[in-house]
């Protein structure tokens, strides 16, 4: 057995340990493994190109992440915080619950790539949530900031995870159908999606209550600080 192609794994380990850019590291590891496996250069390049084109989700991230990084470098997060601070009627609970509703509805129609942690949570939702929380509790520390960011990320994950199962063309729905078919239970993708709908509704209600309770906790802390200063 030829173990030399496994040096590609070592290239990945060394590249990540030295904090190099992930994309060139992975490409170099693929080239090293392919060449050591005896693939000719034209065939190896053709394989890399075919894999890159077939992985459309990776292509989406390659195209969108640099654009988001440039927008953040230009002050997107700061502008989002300032914009949120001017919207007095938009509270933290309303912002996150509204985003959860939109995220879950889009996932139900299969539009899972429209939003996400990299596309919307980090550059927009998290800083807007921080600004909304600071309006409630001005003495906002780093621990509170991390908690708000975690709640924003969890809201995005919950909206996608429980919403996408309602979409009948999702791979997970088809996997469930195949599993039951192997055991003699005939289910259509539509019936599986309909049974996933109550779970999606329950997840929306539970996460909305959690967001509202967190906002109430911030309000109680703000009230206690205000009474302490008055004394």
Structural domain boundaries of the chain? 4-54, 68-230
pLDDT of residue 155: 96
pLDDT at 159: 94
Report the SS3 class of residue 75.
coil
Tens of pLDDT along the chain (231 residues) come to 778 888 888 998 998 888 887 778 888 888 888 888 888 888 888 877 776 666 555 555 555 666 666 666 666 667 766 767 677 778 889 999 999 999 999 998 888 877 888 778 888 888 888 888 888 888 878 888 899 999 999 999 999 999 988 887 777 777 788 888 888 888 888 888 888 899 999 999 999 999 999 999 999 988 888 777 766
CB-based contact 136:218 (threshold 8 Å): yes
How far is C-alpha 103 from the chain's CA centre? 11
Cα dihedral 88→92→94→97 (10° resolution):
160
Q: Quick one: which of 148, 151, 150 has its CA closest to 132?
A: 148
Token representation of residue 138: 């001005």
Q: What is the pLDDT of residue 77?
A: 67
Sign of CA dihedral 65, 68, 72, 78: negative
Neighbours of 93 (CB within 10 A): 19
| Tokens encoding 36 | 């050591």
H runs (alpha helix) in the chain: 7-17, 22-36, 41-54, 56-73, 76-86, 92-108, 126-136, 142-164, 171-182, 189-230
Residue 54's pLDDT is 60
Report the length, in residues, of the chain. Answer: 231
User: What integer pLDDT is reported at residue 55 of this predicted model?
Assistant: 58
CB contact burial 158-177 (16+ within 10 A = b; e otherwise): bbbbbbbbbbbebeebeebb
Helix (H, G, I), strand (E, B) or coil at 40: coil
């Amino acid at each position: 057995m030829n173990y030399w192609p496994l040096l590609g794994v070592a290239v990945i380990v060394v590249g990540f340990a030295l904090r190099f850019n992930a994309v060139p590291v992975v490409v170099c590891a693929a080239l090293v493994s392919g060449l050591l496996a005896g693939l000719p250069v034209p065939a190896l390049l053709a394989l890399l190109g075919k894999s890159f084109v077939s992985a459309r989700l990776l292509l989406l991230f390659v195209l969108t992440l640099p654009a988001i990084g440039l927008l953040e470098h230009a002050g997107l997060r700061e502008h989002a915080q300032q914009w949120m601070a001017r919207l007095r009627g938009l509270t933290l609970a309303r912002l996150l619950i509204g985003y959860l509703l939109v995220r879950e509805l889009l996932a139900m129609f299969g539009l899972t790539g429209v939003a996400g942690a990299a596309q919307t949570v980090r550059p927009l939702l998290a800083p807007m949530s921080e600004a909304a929380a600071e309006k409630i509790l001005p003495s906002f520390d780093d621990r509170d900031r991390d908690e708000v960011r975690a709640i924003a990320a969890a809201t995005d994950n919950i909206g996608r995870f429980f919403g996408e199962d309602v979409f009948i063309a999702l791979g997970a729905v088809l996997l469930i159908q195949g599993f039951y078919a192997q055991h003699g239970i005939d289910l259509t993708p539509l019936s599986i999606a309909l049974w996933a709908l109550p779970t999606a509704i329950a997840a929306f209600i539970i996460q909305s209550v959690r967001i509202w309770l967190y906002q109430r906790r911030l309000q109680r802390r703000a009230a206690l600080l205000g009474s302490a200063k008055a004394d």
